[in-house]
Structure 1
Amino acid sequence: MCYHYSLTKKQEQVMKLIAAEWELPYEPVYHANGFTFPTMPVITSQEPGTVQAYNWGLIPHWTASLADAQKLRAQTLNARNDTIFEKPAFRSYIPKRRCLVLADGFFEWMEYQKKKYPHYVQAQDEGLFGFAGIYSHWTEPETGELFRTFAIITTDANPLMARIHNTKQRMPVILPPAAWTEWLQPELPKERIQELLHPCPDAYLRAHTVDRSLGRPGADTNHEDTVKHVAYPELDSPEQFSLFHD
C-alpha cells in the first residue's frame, strides 16, 4: 500500500512544472505519514487550475460524526483499484471527483529474514509524481467545519515494487504527465478510468534503502536525512542479489 510519501521540491520548482495557481504556500515535506493525516498539495477535477491543500485520509460525505470520521480515515488513506467502484467509501468519488496527489517519492518496506527494511522510491530522473487520487468534502454536523480530504489509489506492484513490497505487493498508481489533464476530466468514462489504474513501468523507478528510524513511533523524520541512502550489508547477500537480478 502507500502510507508514506514525500514532496521534497520547493514550491518554486513545482510551479515550473505545473501550470496552476497555489492556494497556499507550502514547505518541502520529506516524510508525510498518512496516519498523522497531513495536509498536502493536490489538484482536483473541480478546480484543475489550482493546487489546493487537502488532508490525507478520505472522509465520505455520509459520515455521521467527527468521532466516526476519525475512526474511518485511517482506513481510507488508500483505495484499491480493483474495488474502488464497489466500496461504499470510494464509489461515489471515482466517477467525477478524481485528483492528482503531488509527490516526488514514496516509502515502502521490504521484509527479509523477519526484519523490515524501508526503501525510498523515486522516478529515475527524480521528477515529480502525479499519484492518482480521489477526494471528498465533508461538513462536520455540529460545528459546520469543512473537511477536504483525499485517498491515494493503489494497484498491483510492478516487478521492482513486488520485490520491495514483498508482503502485499501493492504500489500507488503513478500517472504519467501526459495523462494528468485527462485524469482530471469529470466526464471520463469508467472504462478509461480503469485503463489508467495500472502499475507504471519498472524502468520508470529507482529505489534505495533508508534509515529504520522512518518507522519509529515519535521519531522526527521530516528532514533531508530521511531520504538519504543507508546501506544494510545483509541485503547484499547472494540470496538478496538473486531477488533483484534474476
Structure 2
Amino acid sequence: HGGVIPYGATFMVFADYSRPALRIAALSHVPTIFVFTHDSVGLGEDGPTHQPVEHLAALRAIPNLTVIRPADANETVQAWKVALEKRDGPVVLALTRQKLPIYDREKMADASNLAKGGYVLLATDKVYPDVLLIASGSEVEFAVEAHAKLAEQGIGAHVISMPSWELFMQQPEEYRNSVLPASVKARVVIEAGVPMGWGQFAGPAGQIIGLDRFGASAPYKTIYEHLGFTTDNVVLRALEAIDKSKK
C-alpha cells in the first residue's frame, strides 16, 4: 500500500490545538503535511486572538519537525515538493493570508534553492556584501526593497531567503558559510514573530526585527508599519548593524 500522505490545514494560531498530533508525528517519523495559513500579524483585521506571534518559534522547537515558510508562489511550489518527498517526519508549510510579490527568477536565484533551507536570493553587485538581510516568508519583501535603497547609498546587501532552519542546518558547513559568511558581521533578520532562535544567524553585531508583543486589529499594512516592519526600518537597522560591526 502507499501513495497516501495525511495532511491537515488551519490558521497557524490554531496549531496549538494540533500540537499533540504534531509532536507524535515527529516522534514517530510519520510523513505528514500540516498547512498553516494566516501565519503572522499580516492577517490583519481578525486581531491578536487570531494572529500568531510565538507559533513559529514553538513549531521550530519540536525535534524532527521541518518548518517551511516560503516567500512567494515559486518557493511555495518548491516547499510542496519538499513536503511530498519527505519520508521520515512531518512538514509544516507556513503560508500568508496577504498577497505577496512573485520574484523574477531570471534576475534572482532559482526557487529550487528552497530545498537547501536558506540561500542568497538577491546578491549585491559589489565583490563582497556590506550587510546580510535575512528573512523568511512575507518579510522577504522588505529585504528585497531595502536592498535597492541601500544600493542607492553605495551599500551592498545580500538578501538571504531563509524559509527553513531545519533544511538549512542539514546542509554542509561549506554551503552554510557561503550563504552566511563569517566575515560579514553586519546582519539584519526580519520575521514577524518572536525572535527566539534567530540569534544563531544574526550574530553578536546583528539586528533583529521581530515581535515582543501581540498584534492588533487593523489592515495588515497599518499593523506592519506600527510594529516596525517597513523597508525604511530595515535600511535603518542595516546601517546600525554596519556601524556596530566596526566596533
**TM-score of Structure 1 vs Structure 2, range by shorter chain:** under 0.3
TM-score normalised per structure 2? 0.25
Structure (1/2) with the larger strand percentage:
1
